[in-house]
Amino acid sequence: MQLKNSITDFIKIDVQGAELDVLIGARNTIKMCKPKILVEVHAIPYVNWRIKNVQRIVEFLMENGVLTISR
């Protein structure tokens, strides 16, 4: 659903493993609106899979002009 004259300025993602899918689906919004994005990623119990997934998420964000900061 798209609202007329709406601007997305913040996106929070907490989807238990589907973070990259959500980001890919929001690619146009990210490019057009340049929102701040919070992605919550849990490192346990699949540590190796999560590390690779986080790397792909960071690569996607950087490719789409998003500055990444982690804490």
Q: Determine, yes or no, domain membership for 1.
A: no
User: What pLDDT is stored for residue 14 in this prediction?
Assistant: 94
Domain count, the chain: 1
Residue 15 lies in a domain: yes
Spatial distance between the Cα atoms of 14 and 50, rounded to a whole number of angstroms: 14
Measure CA of the first residue to CA of the last residue in the chain; give whole Å: 32
Q: Is residue 69 domain-resident?
A: no
Structural domain span for residue 33: 10-63
- Digits of tens for pLDDT over the chain (71 positions)? 566 677 899 999 999 888 999 999 999 999 999 999 999 887 666 667 667 888 898 899 999 988 877 76
Kindly compute the dihedral angle of the four CA atoms of residues 67, 20, 48, 52, in this order, to the nearest 10 degrees: -50
The structure's pTM equals 0.77
Residue 24 lies in a domain: yes
The verdict on residue 49 lying in a domain is yes
DSSP state of 19: H
Domain assignment present for 52: yes
